[in-house]
Copies of this chain bind each other. A is one copy, B any other.
């Protein structure tokens, strides 16, 4: 493992503004990480991802191990060289795929999957996940866990949480790369006692940072907050806390208010592809007819290259004719908006005014945003 020199800069209630070191850079939290599942943030050249203000990008251990295979990426000189980015990279462990993909079996040693593209049987285990992530050479590796579905029964959840603790301990034991940080993942489904147990066990194993997994799986905003309230008080204060797969502006601000530092989600990139743009006035669907003759930029207050150059009318046109440049321009804007949103939130934490930012976020985006 590699120490990340986590430094707290300010607190505002439970919210934190902090910094840590990664790949020779200073990373400032709270932060949002764009998702590049297959080794690319979709439709977006890495130079534009960097210009968006993103500080870390996420890539997917399981998918990259299938295509092109971690050996090819290692031979290319590692994931940064392969993807053409110098941004720090976090790789997930494959644990989310235990939830999202068809699995053939889960046993004490790991999970057997059928690869969705060709049905090929593949196996993930703590050791194998570490082997892949170390070959990829990401800056932050994630310990191997099992992400449970919403509605899982307690009996299975108890068994799974205990096993996840064993898997994560094995992950740590298998992890040898000194230039890579390793984060643990707290599970426990939707039982506060299981969450607490998992949080304490992860702290006891000791990682460079701690993620909260198994949320944003369909439980809704209130349930998510309830579980955060039951989990975060039992997590270490002197390391980054990373809420996986979140999310929407109100989820982000409520989680930061509860002490979360890091997030990843496909929302800005996936929504961009369907023409949904985030702005300081709320979300807009630029494919709506009303934008046909709207010559304002997507967000009049935004400094991104899309807003500096293009109008809503142009984006509307590109989406209407099915031109994929639309996707790139919209993604660049959304990534920039999310990075700016987090930077603004950080500022309000620094000056003790998160409450007003939280209020603004609710007024602007509400539950559906």
Contact = CB atoms under 8 A, between A and B. Distances in A.
A42 to B, nearest CB: 6
Contacts of A41: 325
Interface stretch (A68-76, A130-138, A222-230): A68-76
Task: Count chain B CB atoms within 10 A of each CB in A39, A40, A63, A310 and give the residue with the most.
Answer: A40
Contacts of A310: 84
Contact of A318 (B40, B311, B321): B40
A137 to B, nearest CB: 15
B320 A67 contact: yes
B324 A43 contact: yes
Contacts of A43: 323-325, 328
Interface stretch (A44-52, A196-204, A211-219): A44-52
A130 to B, nearest CB: 22
Given A47-B305, A293-B75, A328-B45, A38 B321 contact: yes
A314 to B, nearest CB: 6
Interface in A1-53: 38-48
Interface in A281-330: 292-293, 295, 305, 309-311, 313-314, 316-318, 320-321, 323-325, 327-329
Interface residues of A, number: 41
A46 B39 CA distance: 24
Interface string A323-350: 1110111000000000000000000000
Nearest to A43: B324
A76 to B, nearest CB: 5
A86 B75 CA distance: 41
A82 interface: yes
Given A75-B293, A84-B314, A295-B75, A329 B45 contact: yes
Contacts of A38: 317-318, 321, 323
A43 B318 CA distance: 10
Contacts of A323: 38, 40, 42-43
A72 to B, nearest CB: 6
A60 to B, nearest CB: 11
A83 interface: yes
A292 B68 contact: yes
Interface in A103-162: none
Nearest to A311: B76
The 3 closest A-B pairs by CB, nearest first: A84-B309, A68-B317, A38-B321
15 contacts: A38-B323, A40-B318, A40-B325, A43-B325, A44-B325, A45-B48, A45-B328, A67-B321, A72-B313, A82-B313, A82-B314, A82-B317, A84-B310, A324-B324, A328-B328
Interface of A: 38-48, 63, 67-68, 72, 75-77, 82-84, 292-293, 295, 305, 309-311, 313-314, 316-318, 320-321, 323-325, 327-329
